[in-house]
Amino acid sequence: MTPAPVARFMASMFPPSTLTKCKLLDAGAGVGALTCAFLDRWATSDGFSFHDAQIDAYEIDPTLRAHLNRTLARYLSRLPVSYRVVPDDFIEAAAIQSLAPRRYTHAILNPPYKKISSLSSHRMILRQVGIETVNLYSAFVALALSLMKPGGQLVAIIPRSFCNGPYYRPFREYLLNRAALRHLHLFASRTTAFKDDDVLQENVIMRLECAGVQSNVTVSNSTDDSFSDLVTHEQPFDRIVFPDDVDKFIHVPTSLGYNAIELSKGVLFPLLENAA
């Protein structure tokens, strides 16, 4: 489950939109915390000009689906929104949909974390659509990106393990070849971040723009999920992914108490310019 402060922060990461129609994907929706945060932002007219929105919320667990249905139904009287709670396996369903015209303008994800066996049906399905990866979280993000319209915005909270290592190199290449990296958020503390859920404390949040032209990357840091000491600065993309790095390691500078941390190796290194 995504903590409410994290869900609200993730929803705030989407840029203002002048689109009149929103098509939102929430894959692995749980009880709907992320979709609710997105809809709550829209309800306050905070940068969204949608006339209506359609939501596809995938959740395979029947108990969670029941809660999800009740949660989303509460918005029908408040906003011009329609929704589907989809019980299908997202990997199987999205692999089929990826062959059709892209549909989603926005996606918000806290995907499941589980290794994918090299002989599993999921691995075979992913390979058929050109995705080579070793964990459900990276599979969900790659498939969600494959379903986005050009210019579509994807925000996901995922383990930082994707930033480095040979097994995630195809996933990093898939993302960087198909989207512009717009925003990265790092939680500086490994002991106090996500105080109510230790599993999440090693995560990063990222925003991708499907088929976007890469430019500077917004980098934000906070000690934990209270965001009380949030710091934001801009970094050139070549400080995030070094141009001559064939492995495409992703580096996330920070300004909370030290110059920077390289997520791929945990090595401190100096910034070339002062953080804002």
Q: How big is the chain by its Cα radius of gyration, in Å? A: 18
Q: Is 12 inside a domain boundary? A: yes
Nearest Cα neighbor of 110 from 5, 13, 205 is: 205
Spatial CA neighbour of 157 closest among 184, 189, 191, 182:
184
pLDDT in tens, 145-172: 999 999 999 999 999 989 988 899 999 9
> How many structural domains is the chain composed of?
1
The domain in which residue 253 lies consists of 4-268
Q: What does the mean pLDDT of the chain come to? A: 88
pLDDT for res 193: 44
Band of residue 187 on the pLDDT scale cut at 50, 70, 90:
confident
Give a yes or no: residue 161 inside a domain.
yes
pLDDT confidence of 101, banded at 50, 70, 90?
confident
- Is 274 a domain residue? no
- At 229-253, the pLDDT tens digits run 999 999 999 999 999 999 999 998 7
- Residue 268, pLDDT above cutoff 50: no
Question: Which CATH number fits the domain that encloses residue 67?
Answer: 3.40.50.150
Q: CB of 164 within 8 A of CB of 204?
A: no
Task: Please indicate, yes or no, if residue 120 is contained in any of the structural domains.
Answer: yes
Residue 190 binned pLDDT confidence (cut-offs 50, 70, 90): low
In a domain, 276, yes or no: no
127 inside domain: yes
Q: Which long-range contacts (CB under 8 A, 24 or more apart) does 123-126 make?
A: 125/91, 125/92, 125/95, 126/91, 126/95
14 is a domain residue:
yes
User: Is the distance from CB of 138 to CB of 63 less than 8 angstroms?
Assistant: no
Return the pLDDT at 188: 76
**What is the C-alpha separation between 141 and 37, in angstroms, rounded?**
19
275 falls within a domain: no
